[in-house]
Amino acid sequence: MIAFVFPGQGSQYVGMAKDLSVCAKDLFETASEILGFDLAKLCFEGPQTELNKTENTQPAILTVSYALLREFSVSGISPAYVAGHSLGEYTAALCGEVFSFSDAIRITRKRGQLMQSAQPEGKGAMAAVLGLDEETLKQICESIKNFYVDLANLNCPGQIVISGEAEGVRKASELAKQKGAKKVVPLQVSIPSHCMLMKEVAQEFGQFLRSFNFNDSKIPIVSNVDAVEVKEAEAILNAFVRQLYSPVRWQDCVKYMISKGVNTFIEIGPGKVLSGLIRRIDSSVKIYNIENLEDLNNVKKEVSG
């Protein structure tokens, strides 16, 4: 049984999808028209600083992932489940035909803008903590007084991201090292994603989402928020809103799909982040990665054969 998974923010790089420029020309043109700038040029040529701006990154990764998905879908290989890491959940919804590609561009652009505006520059921070379990890290976050910090991404065994006010993240990071964390890596972001500092913009985002037509998904989407499958339009919309201020339970999402019989994961989109995480969650499953046309043709042969 196969699952398609889609990467989130942080997987972008200049030059991604360059070999898709001809076959995905229509998608890049549609996205560029909506965004008001040449998205293909930004993806293929950069500069990286512009590509890294959240409001640009989100529609860029979505377009590249969807372009690869569309090309791969021609092979007739279809998933039993889909899932995405944070932003990747929107590509998963596109795979399930929950909304149109143009609506997905508008939604991810707005999502990026709202996330960027949620906190003043420098107030929020995130850090990856390696080598501590969820319970220990949760207790550390709760012990920090006067500054807010919480768990944001439960990625795989021994890798949890914390998010919150910059000082709260700094204090929790220090305490995590004292409690035996192998390493703490501050993330190069100014946005404290997937924590309660996003609650206010999440409400505005929910109102924005209601201006679009959502369909029930044709494929079960395993939601980041609860790590269970959702198909109904209303449940998907609600999960998108909650996802902004709730932790991404990626490890639980992968375990859920495996418990349902998934033994093959195909990561579709830039980078190989999810493939690495899945390997650490369960090394017995088959994992493929598609981030260019060469990968796409190789995986077609492997999976079909």
User: Which residues are annotated as catalytic?
Assistant: 86, 194
Over the chain, what HEC string results?
CEEEEECCCCCCCCCCCHHHCCCCHHHHHHHHHHHCCCHHHHHHHCCHHHHCCHHHHHHHHHHHHHHHHHHHHCCCCCCCEEEECCCHHHHHHHHCCCCCHHHHHHHHHHHHHHHHHCCCCCCEEEEEEECCCHHHHHHHHHHCCCCCEEEEEEEECCEEEEEEEHHHHHHHHHHHHHCCCCEEEECCCCCCCCCHHHHHHHHHHHHHHCCCCCCCCCCCEECCCCCCEECCHHHHHHHHHHHCCCCECHHHHHHHHHHCCCCEEEEECCCCHHHHHHHHHCCCCEEEEECCHHHHHHHHHHHHC
Q: Which residues of 255-281 are buried (b: 16+ CB within 10 A; e: fewer)?
A: ebbbeeebebbbbbbbbbbbbbbbeeb
